[in-house]
Structure 1
Amino acid sequence: MDDLTFAIQNRERIRVVARSFGRAGKMLLKPGRILVGEGCLLKLCRRGPKPKVFFLFNDILVYGSVMVPGCWNNKKKIVPLEEVQQEDMEDGMAMANQWLIRMPRKSFYVSAASPEEKIAWMGHIEKCKTLRMQTKGLPTDNDADKFATTWIPDKASAICMRCTKHFNVATRRHHCRKCGYIVCRACSKSRALIPNISSKPVRVCRNCVSSTQEGKVQGQKRKKVKHWKKNSVEESPTQPEFETSSDEDLEDKNGYQVPTKWFNNQLEKEDYSPYCYIKPMHMNPPHTGL
């Protein structure tokens, strides 16, 4: 297979991926971008593991919710590979073959169907990231402070991890964006600006706000706004907006699971076969329906 044939096939594969996200996928087609692999992994969300579709390109990592298997995906997230950090993890009670993916805005655990598939995903991501960093002339060291904290799943605790109050219908679970702990509303009234997560102030627990200068300032502002509202008929139009919940609250659950498939590309000049499988039983790629 020559370079021209590969370029045509690569472009068509990216078009299929872009169409699966509807209008939101248009920006995926870009000169020089190569689709390295795709597959379905379990992502540990706040309410438990959920299947997510992942697409690895030579410059970005894309993931989203599975709406119609092989045809329609939703809630597309795009992360530059230079902003991705991986950490190998042992099998947990909730998921086997898991590892941690850290990013500035969000960090989470993902799980593959087998140890071999996990190794393949981690290896491909790390290889593409290294080449990307070298091409852009970026340092390979990662500052841990620039990555978001991993949220503790809701089922991990029946009580607030700050005041030990039990959760029920009236007392809901919330997450501190600074430490990832599960806390009640009373213990997470403060807001702090964490630039790598959001441009707006986000929820932080009472322990984290005491060590965050931005949180102290936001707490003072919030008290002023609350005091103003007591003496006013209408709400202030300039009241700051706060992040209140996770988009994962609306995500669906299903049992969609398909084998990961890797595309040989110009990262591997020695072989231009259309597909590169990690298992013999994966010889036929899943039908895309598009």
Structure 2
Amino acid sequence: MAEANLIKEGFLCPICHKDLRSPNNLIAHFQDLHSEEQDILKSIKDLYGKAKKKILKLDEQDLELFKNEITLEKYYLEISEPQDPGQTRSHTDYFKAVRRERLDHRTTETNKLIIRLDRLLRFYGSDRRQQEQELVAWLDGSTVTRCPSCASSFNITRRQHHCRLCGSIMCNSCSYFLAYEAAQTIVAPVHNVDVNNREQVPGKESDSLRICNHCLDMLESRRRVQMEQMRQPIICQLYNHLQNLKSQTQSSVDLYLKMYNSLTSGETTFHLQDTQALRSGIAKKAELIDTLSKKIASLPVEDDTPKVATLQNSIRRATSHYIKEYLLTLPAPPSMQELEQIKKQRSMRNTEEESRVAVRTHIKKVIVTTGWSPSTVNNDSSEAEDPLIEQMNIVRNYIEQARKAQRFEEVESLQENLKMLKETYRQQQILKDS
């Protein structure tokens, strides 16, 4: 009775109830001994296939059915109107306080490392190791049996080493040698170390400092922050260059207008060739300004910063307006024929004015000249030794040099000096004749 109620498990033959241990053995056993029962074999295969799908993976149709069943109607849930939020609590202040405390702590630790590194750079000589231990207390090696970074045990071949900045212990593989040149760039705002005055000690330690990965990470973080603060976007760099060019061009425009007014009024302070050369320089600068503004307008813009495109287009429009309104509208310099006519008219006006002055002051034999030229100077030895004539020749030489270098501001100043010297010399000659 007990054997009849016994439940067997495994891959059992449905005919002889023999355990075949595996599905392949069961199918082979049934085909060999019970081949007449093909319908039963087919049912076994179908049963095995369904069981396999259930065990390994849900059937796709069953999965779609499962998805359809998980709906609000299945559980008779109704969509309700959104409710007003209840009592809330902001954790922003707490988060800022925690972040501020951690940032302050990291900044303090980084500043300590910078100060220690600055002092370590001043140590040199045979007693440098003792000076380093006096600056930073080294951890007792007897209490550390493994490297904190790689968990390797210390032995004869793997010795203990100390970080020169924090005094912690590490193995040689987990330590980093910071070069003196790199250390000097890190502490440059704190102290400028003179490498030439530092005594050179042979060996690797003479030009580097052994530090741990933790100290290295803090120093590198500080350097990255400094680099990010100093780095400017490309649009800022181009815009600064554009503004510098516009400033230079504006000064050239002011000087050109001054030279133009001087030429059109008949003055001899500037030459026509200088005015034409300056106008050509302004045209070249205008081309550079236009090219820079086009480059700014064509810079790529990210999708999350749409206002940058508006800024770029505004810069381009403002630059185009500046070129059209202030650079392309400059008056053209007069031609040689116009300049000669202007000089003749000015000379006639000056002659008439000086004649009226001579009549009023009863001065006889006054020679009226519109400008000093070497042909009007006598070639006797007394005039050759005149310091005024020598000084005027020197000033003329300076004017020629300044004109070749296109330093027109200095040309103007020297022309004024030459005019004063000429007037002084003319007064002397009048006194001599009278």
TM-score normalised by L of structure 1:
0.22
Query: Using CA pairs below 8 Å that are at least 6 residues apart, which structure has the higher relative contact order?
Result: 1
Instruction: Give the number of the structure whose alpha-carbon radius of gyration is greater.
Output: 2
TM-score normalised by L of structure 2:
0.15
User: Larger strand proportion, structure 1 or 2?
Assistant: 1
